[in-house]
Amino acid sequence: MRVGPNRQGTAVDLLQLQYFQTVARLEHMTRAAVELGVAQPSLSRTIAGLERELGVPLFDRPGRQIRLNEIGRAFLGCVDRALAQLEEGRQEVADLAGLERGQVALAATTLRWVPELLSAFRSEHPHVRFRLIQAETAAMRQQLERGETDLCLSALPIEGPGIQSVPVLTEEIFLAVPSTHRLAARGSIHLDEVADEPFISLKPGYDVRDLTDQFCRQAGFSPRAVCEVDEPTAIRALVRAGLGVAFLPAASWRFVDEPEPVPLHIAAPACQRTLGLAWREDRHLSAAARQLRQFAIEYFARLP
């Protein structure tokens, strides 16, 4: 698809714009090629062809690196708006075809609640398709702003111009300890009682890590992290192995019948997190996305 002539009389290809948007976002040709599923030489030729057609370089290329230049940043803003409008048009056309043929892009900081939610939704709308993305809160905000995601499920509020959100669920966060731990039989503790314990944590940047670090500061200490992971499911195994204690939300024990780790209620400070659902109120949401948004709000409201 050609999207119109430039001042030199040539036309810019839609694929060129999509490739340029990804390269500009990542500023790394190899990673962009992997994300797009194309060969790097082909991607490089596409970007070079776009620059020839525009008559200006869009990137600086110091050494083996690639950096968006001032002209490229200005062009990226135009490309983002143009592709977002085209995507809105596609969604509006899909709406005319009916809810059941729609697709929803859903991002979440944790996927623990997502399988049950989507299973319940698909029992009523079996032909709706989904694209699932797991990302940190900051990355999800950027995806919303670029129109890459319809809905976001996050434990930290996603804020920004045009972003609307609603809380859908509040859940307790427990302290997980091995069954041999000195506090395992207590059932309930004050957080300052484990100030000197080794902690197993998610890496900084995850919303649960930011939130639990805040709980520790309220209790008067900074947690001593002996292991930082980016895979939440690994935390349970590391606690069972006796390497430390960890914060785990209530959802971690749903449908899990294991003696370890042992969950301890934290009496003070109150340790909870609230999941919120966010979307762009100034952009078109497909009928399928609007239906899932309402379904999710009602689904979480029915949970114990």
Q: How far is CA 245 from CA 78, 79, 257, in A?
A: 49, 47, 19
pLDDT in tens, 166-193: 999 999 999 999 999 999 999 999 999 9
Q: Return the number of other C-beta atoms located less than 10 Å from residue 275's C-beta.
A: 23
Cα–Cα distance between 268 and 190 in angstroms, integer?
A: 5
Query: What's the pLDDT score for residue 6?
Result: 47
Helix (H, G, I), strand (E, B) or coil at 155: coil
DSSP codes of every residue in 113-148: SHHHHHHHHHHH-TT-EEEEEE--HHHHHHHHHHT-
Helix (H, G, I), strand (E, B) or coil at 45: helix
* Cα angle: 1, vertex 19, 48; to 5 degrees: 95
- Residue intervals of the chain classified under CATH 3.40.190.290 are 169-273
User: What is the arithmetic mean of pLDDT over 112-130?
Assistant: 89
User: What is the arithmetic mean of pLDDT over 199-204?
Assistant: 90
Select the highest-mean-pLDDT range: 5-9, 92-96, 138-142.
138-142
What's the token pair of residue 218? 């309220």
pLDDT in tens, 9-33: 445 688 899 999 999 999 999 999 9
What's the token pair of residue 132? 């699932």
Superfamily of domain 102-168+275-302: Periplasmic binding protein-like II (3.40.190.10)
Query: What's the pLDDT score for residue 9?
Result: 43
Query: Residue 24 in contact with residue 68, Cβ under 8 Å?
Result: yes
Third-level CATH fold of 2-90: Arc Repressor Mutant, subunit A (1.10.10)
- Residue intervals of the chain classified under CATH 3.40.190.10 are 102-168+275-302
- Residue intervals of the chain classified under CATH 1.10.10.10 are 2-90
Query: Residue 191 in contact with residue 264, Cβ under 8 Å?
Result: no
Cα–Cα distance between 235 and 202 in angstroms, integer?
A: 8
Q: What is the residue-averaged pLDDT of the chain?
A: 87
The pTM assigned to this predicted structure is 0.62
User: Which is nearest to 232 in space by CA: 150, 138, 111, 113?
Assistant: 111
**Angle of helix 70-96 relative to helix 14-26, nearest 10 degrees?**
120
What's the token pair of residue 138? 């900051």
User: What is the arithmetic mean of pLDDT over 79-100?
Assistant: 73
Third-level CATH fold of 169-273: D-Maltodextrin-Binding Protein; domain 2 (3.40.190)
DSSP state of 301: H
Amino acid found at 292: L
